[in-house]
Structure 1
Amino acid sequence: MTGLHQRGLAEPAFPDDDGLIHPSLAEALGDDSAVFNVFGEVRVFVPIVAILGELATDGSDKSADMAAVFMTGADGRKALLTFSSVAALEAWNPVARPVPVWGREAAQAALDEGASALLLDLGSEHFTVLELSQ
């Protein structure tokens, strides 16, 4: 089979992930500065939801896109939602798809999309706003 291109899938970043909160992040919750200090080095979950695309007028199926969830504040600032665990994400929205990412990657993605903050565990007693800067 010389000359054939062998394709392979990339190794998953979190192959044995159980979906539980990272211990360092669990210890930091309740202290915004401590959360900020460990956030970049822990795995978090970004919710992905279906967004209805254009409605079909010819009887064919409608289309949908998958997107990360951003919120816009009253002041116009944009923030990316993140969650510490699958359970925290499911408590917010049980149909959202949890995508595991490093905290630093979530922060960079938020900045790339023009957001100025990350919202960690929206709707929980330890909800935390992480302000971002370029």
Structure 2
Amino acid sequence: MASLAEPAFPGDDGSADPTLATALTAYDSDGDLGPVLAALSAARVLVPVVAVLGENAEPGSDKEADMATVMLTGADGRQALLAFSSLDTLGAWRADARPVPVWAREAARAALAEGATAMLVDLVGPVRAVVETDDLQHLADGDDLVGVGSSWAWSKRP
């Protein structure tokens, strides 16, 4: 008899990871992104998937819809993958988006694979955080952010 794979996030109720939620709250007060990055290295995020009109749809014909992840394009042309810490923050952005739970490091890999230079966490808040450039690459590589005195440094995993 065939068996199904175990879910990656058993018991996940869509709440924000407590460590990530605490880090985002602190970031709103002190502007230190380090704890957010450290929390993301071990957190689950929700990547939204939305229906878009299919390429072959013509006016008057039956519409075909495809599902797609959401990329935000900035005024400078750079793109960011959207990710959310919880169902509440995702729903505040767009109630009809389907949540896909993934490790934040996997979302970072997907962002880079799609040519994005950033991952935007909780677009409509209550606290928004942007992971970009080197930090995005380190997160995608599965590195850990560690406190070094009063600053932060990425540590490669063995």
Matched, 1:24 2:19: yes
2:107 & 2:89 partners in 1: Cα distance?
17
| Change in 2 beyond 3 A, CA 1:113/1:18 | same
Matched, 1:13 2:14: no
2:52 & 2:12 partners in 1: Cα distance?
27
Moved over 3 A (4+): 56-59
Matched, 1:97 2:92: no
Contact 1:22–1:42 (CA under 8 A) maintained in structure 2: yes
Structure 1 position 38, deviation (Å): 1.6
Q: Deviations over 1:72-128 (max 9, x none)?
A: 111111100000001100010000001100000000010011111000000113111
Size of the aligned set, in residue pairs, is 128
Contact 1:118–1:132 (CA under 8 A) maintained in structure 2: no
Residue identity matched to 2:118? A
1:72 & 1:109 partners in 2: Cα distance?
16
Q: CA RMSD in A?
A: 1.6
Residue identity matched to 2:113? D
Contact 1:111–1:132 (CA under 8 A) maintained in structure 2: no
Pairing of 1:53-72 with structure 2 (within 5 A): 53=54, 54-56=56-58, 59=61, 61-72=62-73
Pairing of 1:19-58 with structure 2 (within 5 A): 19-29=14-24, 30=27, 31-53=32-54, 54-56=56-58
2:66 & 2:59 partners in 1: Cα distance?
18
Sequence identity of aligned pairs in percent? Answer: 55
2:127 & 2:111 partners in 1: Cα distance?
21
2:156 — aligned with what?
none
2:83 — aligned with what?
82
Mean CA deviation greater in 114-123 or 7-16: 7-16
1:23 & 1:57 partners in 2: Cα distance?
47
1:86 & 1:57 partners in 2: Cα distance?
35
1:8 & 1:98 partners in 2: Cα distance?
25
Answer 1 or 2: which has greater helix percent: 2
Structure 2: gaps of 5 or more residues: 138-158
